[in-house]
């Protein structure tokens, strides 16, 4: 556990149950494996090469995550959300009340998709069954499976590869 009220937190090369919290700065997460809970009320979240489960929230900035192999719950009330998933875990839950959400993920597995935003754009959407319009999308990909929930006050961009 690591908590601070006045600065940022940088976590690198850690394994296990990791709890990080700051009320005054950003979070930089690199090469982490395990169950990671990381929250900030004063800055952004940057993550790279995370394996396992990641639960992260910020009230004051954007979230940028790359090379993620994990179950993921990420939310921001102060900015956008950009996520690149290398492999899916048990679930994906993304929420931004202050901006756009862009997510890039494998499209070769079964997914249960629930997306809401001002405008929804998709790329590589094959084998989709369900309903889709400009603001909402509900249905399954490849017969269903991993729940993927995305909510944004801005646009939602989903790219499947």
- What mean pLDDT is predicted for residues 49-53? 98
> Considering only 3-12, 88-97, 121-130, which range has the smallest mean pLDDT?
3-12
pLDDT at 2: 81
Burial grade of 94 (CB within 10 A; 0-12, 13-18, 19 or more) = buried
**H or E element, residue 71:** strand 63-76
Q: Contact at 8 Å (CB) between 118 and 152?
A: yes
pLDDT band at 54 (very low <50, low <70, confident <90, very high): very high
Query: What average pLDDT is seen over the chain?
Result: 95
16 pLDDT higher than 80:
yes
105 pLDDT higher than 80:
yes
Q: Which of 28-32, 39-43, 74-78 has the highest mean pLDDT?
A: 28-32
Helix, strand or coil, per DSSP, at residue 86: strand
> Considering only 36-40, 41-45, 73-77, 79-83, which range has the smallest mean pLDDT?
41-45
pLDDT at 24: 81
- What mean pLDDT is predicted for residues 116-124? 95
Six token digits for residue 40: 């900030």
Q: Which residues contact 123 (CB under 8 A, 6 or more apart)?
A: 157, 158, 159, 160
What region does 16 belong to: left with phi over 0, alpha with psi -120 to 50, or beta? left
Burial grade of 10 (CB within 10 A; 0-12, 13-18, 19 or more) = middle
- What mean pLDDT is predicted for residues 26-38? 97
pLDDT band at 145 (very low <50, low <70, confident <90, very high): very high
pLDDT at 30: 98
Q: Taking the complete model, does pTM exceed 0.85, yes or no?
A: yes
């Amino acid at each position: 556990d690591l908590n601070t009220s006045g600065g940022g937190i940088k976590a690198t090369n850690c394994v296990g149950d990791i709890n990080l919290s700051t009320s005054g700065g950003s979070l930089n997460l690199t090469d982490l494996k395990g169950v990671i809970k990381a929250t900030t009320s004063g800055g952004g979240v940057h993550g790279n090469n995370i394996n396992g489960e990641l639960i992260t929230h910020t009230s004051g900035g954007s979230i940028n995550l790359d090379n993620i192999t994990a179950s993921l719950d990420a939310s921001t009330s102060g900015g956008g959300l950009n996520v690149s998933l290398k492999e899916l875990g048990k679930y994906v839950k993304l929420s931004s009340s202050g901006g756009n959400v862009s997510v890039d993920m494998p499209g070769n597995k079964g997914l249960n998709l629930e997306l809401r935003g001002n405008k929804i754009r998709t790329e590589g959407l094959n084998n989709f069954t369900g309903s889709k319009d400009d603001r909402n999308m509900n249905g399954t990909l490849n017969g269903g499976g991993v729940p993927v929930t995305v909510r944004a006050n801005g646009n939602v961009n989903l790219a499947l590869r």
